[in-house]
Structure 1
């Protein structure tokens, strides 16, 4: 029996191969058989009221929202791997911060993005280095109709008071010769609301969380030309300006309550991407990019310091630039061969006073990769990838407090990566995939060159010679269907991390990052989405992960609950009306490695209604944290209580 493999299924969405170029997923830089990612589409992001990328990613099975309470940063862990081990891309371009590999995903708004893709098991090495635990790709919008207009506004209230607002607008024009997309969005948070049972001098009074304001703005401009049916060239510019405050620690442990503020959390990216058909069988893909990051931190270590504006200062001014080329060939019916080269320069500059000179660090990373897809008949596909990566430290310069200048010696590390996946298609909608992998990630500049750990009152010794961390893993995934539009996915996995980088005590308060750890992760992901009856759609995302420390770990793995789940129901009694109720739940997790501080497990309910008025106009209302539950992702940092929102959207 013959059947089509032109569609790439996931538990949460369906993307057809003919649409891959339009959706700009990471599968553009991998063979179709390697497309095992879960994709969150625009409809899901809207129905579940996910305002930023971190919240949206928590819907994906196996992805866990993580909060750094002391820095008010939202990040995620993918099957236990943190953001240093799972790089983040915008349209395939890396945007993670050069210094520590992290990025506050709470600053990235979702109102003007098209989709979010998460690669957990097999993640193509053609995309670039560092994908030890997978990869995350955020895709920008691209018009498909001659004229597209989208605009919206939402207003929020907490206890009857204006708590913030969000607005967005986009204009898209598409033609056979090319396309144009312009969009902008802003979310202004005047304050976060506290649950009714929380009222104290530290956390906040009168329902207002202390030191909790934020303001994020982003603009995206994309211009593309399509001179041929298989040719596509685009230039994208993204500017994001942000500011945020950090609510203080208000838990029961003896921990300082800090009132830090970031008046500047800005990113700017511009990149070129091209797809060129070279005859009938060859395709050349290219990208060239520059990404900048500027961050200013004002550190007020008490409420009195905040009122006096007396505190320490820190400023980052980082940038990255790089390029990539991929040559792919149809070598036989159903067989594909691709080669890729990726280059990236990272520069980190920091200073501790406004008039001080910059400390400066620079890395250059190269990656050579190849991937081959082989098909046997209509049912079996095998895809294998290899890569060789190397990184050269080109500069390390630090201004010491006594006025001297320290130059660190250059260093070079390299790593070989490989992975293989076999996929068996039972029929057109059911498949079984098994993959094995051995992948690495290079230590960050912070891990190699940091000289202090102020949160722990420790002095750190640099270690420029740190080796890469390495993860060996296996993944077994079943994709199936329970109705004409109902999909489900179930995965079992095991990952072993060797040469894990950990802080090792040397003497007194002196520590050093060393390759001394080993951690094993074993778990299961389950995702379901589809209609039970025509007017009722259901979605389920569940993740189980167990982390076991095997060697020389300084403590427990933090921010990693064993169980996480999101379930939602969308009822559409009328073609113009939809009601979505969703529940987010997770078990307890350690907030510090010693295990003495734990964030308790919780369940939180959200509600949203959308009404289509006609002629492109729609209204929406929502209640976040419907039952005003008191909960925290990190112990002592209470999350927002009940919040009401109402908005209007226009689409043409």
Structure 2
């Protein structure tokens, strides 16, 4: 296993590094850095002390220093990765793009177990908290076939913490305030654990409670001539911006010797959220847009093990059972009190998955490392609507509709150690899925079943890794991977406007990367990569007649770009660093005139300094910079929206360019207690990531952390 750490600030992480290295000689290799190693994903070519094929890692200290409390905020710290607001604004979801690939092509995992929503996989990355995460692994372009199917554009893995001391704990609490000084919400975290000679136990709880966030003072409600009544958002506190999320994590492990480990891990996260309305549309588009999520819950129970077999081989296993429970409520109007009109509902998703994997590896031949893995997973999706629940006349509840699918993958990876400093890696896998059940409810009041679908795919990848010095590495990789369609893409009729396609095939991309990381000078280190992706068989809705479309594999595209990071230790008290990404995406589309890929800026940069004027005080200013990005324009056809249609006549618009200035001050009161405070969006910039969805203005925060 290996992790890329290029771009991590040495000074920002100094407190954590000191804590980890004190007494390191007495620590078991299993206790490295408090990272739950059984939850890490594979990093190809990392077995001989190198960092493997390109990727990035976000650490706990970085999320603390830069006040990144949720996943979509944290990933913006590294090059090649950007978060954005879903253009379907009524869903209030964030998405993450890794070198241009979004949530459908880049699987998300928690401790190596995939979080997958079989209905549509519309993950909302804002629901995933970071305080109990040891590190965020991000593989870009090249994700090992050993980790299972779906890594068409990379992979993201949240690795939880594990205790390293006989007795340890951490407590954190913080509060946020808007640009008018009003209290917005609070964030807290608590962890206790114990690492003994043959076992460890740990429990933690993380909570984020936000009553609202506020818009920039520069925001002005949209106005138009004619019958338009004005924006539904008047500024100040953003309507529908509340959310509440908490997560608990328990684990227990048995470590009979220095190499073997057996662990049970339980994670439960519970969320609820509002959905701010598009500020241009009034009435909203569609009028069925007054949505809230009273439940957005995930649960994961897993067993993981690592067993050394002799001196040269190992066996890893993983078993898991996870659930997803989601409730979407559609209301009549902006009061969010009644659900009586036609098309209003409480929509329920109740999903579960069970599966496992086994991985074996051997170095029986000194110059060769051979690994094999097998994954199997079953997903079960149940949905139903409670329609017009507050109507005394038309209220009725649909019967439950069930869908299920099975997915499996067999993979083989071989690393040939040409020399002690040069590796050649090759991997292949065969992935297959089938739909076992596909029920739907029709207007006549009957449940029927769609034709069952399925597909298979062969994947391959290869890499060359040259570690030309202790700190320097060059690598070149090619990875050809696929992504299977979701149930939504296969069967959704989109309220009668689409025709199902059970024969829909997988998407495919061939990703190329040439990368470097190392030291330019003793106090200057960095990384760089150029990348290109040949994307084929992209899934897109094709217009079959004036009123209906069908999802088909019709598109192809080219994603390409460059990324780099640098960090300079200018003095014992001052570090400067940052990263930059350039990316272009060209997608040919035969069904949507003027189609533009949305959500990804052409240019993105993150710059920071860490200055320690006195021993206990660290001041960390930073800048987050992006160019504009394409966004969908979704305007209703109601007569009241005619001025909006006139103002925004094209289906796509460029929006979202911004420069956010932030600052954090951290003061270490005593060895085990520190306080911090800062400002995000210091200049109170008014900006949008998606059309009609402005983002938070200036935000103040204070927090404290105690460890023992």
TM-score by length of 1: 0.94
**Equivalent residue runs for 1:232-251 within 5 Å:** 232-251=261-280
**Cα pair distance change 1:320/1:13, threshold 3 Å:** farther
Counterpart for residue 311 of structure 2: 280
| 1:76 counterpart = 2:92 | no
Counterpart for residue 330 of structure 1: 363
CA contact (8 A) 1:621 1:646 kept: yes
Aligned equivalents of 2:339, 2:68: Cα separation in 1: 34
Aligned equivalents of 2:96, 2:351: Cα separation in 1: 22
Deviations 1:253-310 (A, max 9, x none): 9853733110111111110000011111110000000111111111236425x24454
**Cα pair distance change 1:29/1:547, threshold 3 Å:** closer
**Equivalent residue runs for 1:273-352 within 5 Å:** 273-300=304-331, 302-303=333-334, 306-310=336-340, 311-352=344-385
Aligned equivalents of 1:470, 1:151: Cα separation in 2: 45
2:216 aligned to 184, 195, 198, which one?
195
Aligned equivalents of 2:569, 2:332: Cα separation in 1: 52
Counterpart for residue 44 of structure 1: 62
Secondary structure at the aligned position of 2:497 is classed as: strand
Deviations 1:400-457 (A, max 9, x none): 121122212222311000000001122111111001121111111111011106xxxx
Residue 38 of structure 1: how far off its partner (Å):
0.9
Aligned equivalents of 2:205, 2:231: Cα separation in 1: 36
Counterpart for residue 679 of structure 2: 623
| 1:160 counterpart = 2:156 | no
Secondary structure at the aligned position of 1:103 is classed as: coil
Aligned equivalents of 2:663, 2:705: Cα separation in 1: 18
Residue 8 of structure 1: how far off its partner (Å):
5.4
**What RMSD, in angstroms, separates the aligned Cα atoms of the two structures?**
2.3
CA contact (8 A) 2:233 2:279 kept: no
**Cα pair distance change 1:487/1:121, threshold 3 Å:** farther
CA contact (8 A) 1:320 1:346 kept: yes
**Cα pair distance change 1:425/1:317, threshold 3 Å:** same
Aligned equivalents of 1:6, 1:635: Cα separation in 2: 40
CA contact (8 A) 2:299 2:324 kept: yes
Counterpart for residue 132 of structure 1: 152
Residue 627 of structure 1: how far off its partner (Å):
0.8
Aligned equivalents of 1:407, 1:551: Cα separation in 2: 31
Aligned equivalents of 2:57, 2:2: Cα separation in 1: 16
Counterpart for residue 108 of structure 2: 88
Residue 10 of structure 1: how far off its partner (Å):
3.1
1:353 aligned to 369, 374, 386, which one?
386
Secondary structure at the aligned position of 2:72 is classed as: helix
| 1:384 counterpart = 2:426 | yes
Aligned equivalents of 1:644, 1:226: Cα separation in 2: 44
Deviations 1:475-501 (A, max 9, x none): 100111135564311110110111110
Gaps of 5+ in 1: none
Aligned equivalents of 2:83, 2:3: Cα separation in 1: 29
1:65 aligned to 78, 83, 86, which one?
83
Deviations 1:190-217 (A, max 9, x none): 0111111225474545621111111001
Counterpart for residue 545 of structure 2: 507
CA contact (8 A) 2:339 2:345 kept: no
Counterpart for residue 392 of structure 2: none
Aligned equivalents of 2:525, 2:566: Cα separation in 1: 6
CA contact (8 A) 1:65 1:76 kept: yes
Aligned equivalents of 1:221, 1:63: Cα separation in 2: 30
**Cα pair distance change 1:230/1:551, threshold 3 Å:** same
TM-score by length of 2: 0.87
Counterpart for residue 223 of structure 1: 252
Which has the higher mean CA deviation after the structures are superposed, 489-498 or 586-595? 586-595
Counterpart for residue 693 of structure 2: 637
Residue 96 of structure 1: how far off its partner (Å):
2.5
Aligned equivalents of 1:607, 1:195: Cα separation in 2: 17
**Cα pair distance change 1:551/1:156, threshold 3 Å:** closer
| 1:143 counterpart = 2:199 | no
Deviations 1:123-160 (A, max 9, x none): 11000001000100101011111111100110111212
2:302 aligned to 271, 274, 277, which one?
271
Aligned equivalents of 2:68, 2:548: Cα separation in 1: 42
1:366 aligned to 386, 395, 408, which one?
408
**Cα pair distance change 1:286/1:301, threshold 3 Å:** same
CA contact (8 A) 2:53 2:463 kept: no
Residue 533 of structure 1: how far off its partner (Å):
2.0
Secondary structure at the aligned position of 1:303 is classed as: coil
| 1:579 counterpart = 2:619 | yes
Higher strand fraction (1 or 2): 1
Counterpart for residue 496 of structure 1: 534
Aligned equivalents of 2:666, 2:399: Cα separation in 1: 53
Aligned equivalents of 1:299, 1:597: Cα separation in 2: 28
| 1:464 counterpart = 2:502 | yes
Counterpart for residue 664 of structure 2: 608
Secondary structure at the aligned position of 2:74 is classed as: helix
Residue 399 of structure 1: how far off its partner (Å):
1.5
Aligned equivalents of 1:595, 1:601: Cα separation in 2: 19
Counterpart for residue 393 of structure 2: none
Aligned equivalents of 1:197, 1:29: Cα separation in 2: 45
Counterpart for residue 237 of structure 2: 208
Gaps of 5+ in 2: 11-16, 22-28, 222-229, 388-396, 634-649
| 1:10 counterpart = 2:10 | no
CA contact (8 A) 1:114 1:141 kept: yes
